Structure 1
Amino acid sequence: MARLTPYLSFRDQAREALEFYRTALGGELEIMTFGSMPGMTDDPAEEELVMHGQLEAPGGLVLMAADTPSSMPYVPATSGVTVALTGGPEDMDHVQAAISTLLDGATDVMPFDPAPWGDHYGQLTDRYGITWMFDVGAS
């Protein structure tokens, strides 16, 4: 079955960001570097940059990220694109724990509180400039 998966672009912070997200979300992290694939970079200083990183967190969440070597155009996080972490009442503790970690260095924080429609809702922009939205349904 096809699925939509967030794929985040960084200049040179993908490894650091993915490790931070693993701390927040849990799961297994796999990282492939440009240096591990012959011919992917001509610059020895860029061999340890992340060519492809994938975090498989509990509950089926997959978050991918990569660095952008100097030979490619860098496209930073786009305004209007948000990573959403959502769930039901059984996910409340997991979502609150993730938020607690992601708040470190975050800006534009909307507290995770009860919303008029009955869910708990909040959002933030993390230390890497990635916007997150959180929603936990009441039932």
Structure 2
Amino acid sequence: MAGTISTYVTFNGYTAEVLKHWQDVFGGELNLLTYGQTQMDPSAMPFEPPADSLAHGVLATPGGLISGGDSIDGEYPIRDTAYSMLYNAESVEDAQEKIAKLVDAGGEETMKFETAPWGGSYGQVFDKYGVMWSFSAE
């Protein structure tokens, strides 16, 4: 089997909340594991995580995997345009539906979803957590 690339996100204590929100928007199956649920010996770890912190979560969407866990040592900068999550929609209507869900939940459409120079449709939304989502549809 060839290697694959998927996304891994880290938030300071609320990664499970983010993954649940994305499951509401994009669908899929979500599996969450807190440090308290692991069988790991706490003395074997280089830090002392709270038992309810997310050790590992996986959202298996129909289009791919998004994994993540809570940061233990502080907050990372989130809102930026140097990266984005790219959703290649099945149709223009599919993209518009997902964009509306993100905006209705507190996100901000920063680039209107419309015809792009290459002929498809493209737009950008920052979700309520500061993550930029790019949307593309043929």
Whether TM-score is above 0.5 comes out as yes
Residue ranges of structure 1 left out of the alignment (5+ in a row): none
Q: Work out the percentage of aligned pairs sharing the same amino acid.
A: 28
Instruction: Report if the CA contact (8 A) 1:8-1:77 is conserved.
Output: no
Deviation at 1:74, TM superposition (A): 3.9
Aligned to 1:83: 85
Aligned to 1:106: 107
Aligned to 1:67: 70
Q: When the two structures are aligned, how many residues end up with a matched partner?
A: 130
Amino acid of the structure 2 residue aligned with 1:5: S
RMSD between aligned residues: 2.0
Aligned to 2:23: 22
Which residues in structure 2 correspond to 1:22-61 (within 5 Å)? 22-37=23-38, 38=40, 39=42, 42=48, 46-59=50-63, 61=64
Helix, strand or coil at the partner of 2:129: coil
Question: What CA distance in whole angstroms lies between the structure 2 residues aligned with 1:96 and 1:110?
Answer: 13
Question: What CA distance in whole angstroms lies between the structure 2 residues aligned with 1:94 and 1:107?
Answer: 18
Question: What CA distance in whole angstroms lies between the structure 2 residues aligned with 1:54 and 1:73?
Answer: 21
TM-score, normalisation: structure 2: 0.82
Instruction: Report if the CA contact (8 A) 1:9-1:76 is conserved.
Output: no
Helix, strand or coil at the partner of 2:101: helix
Deviation at 1:73, TM superposition (A): 4.6
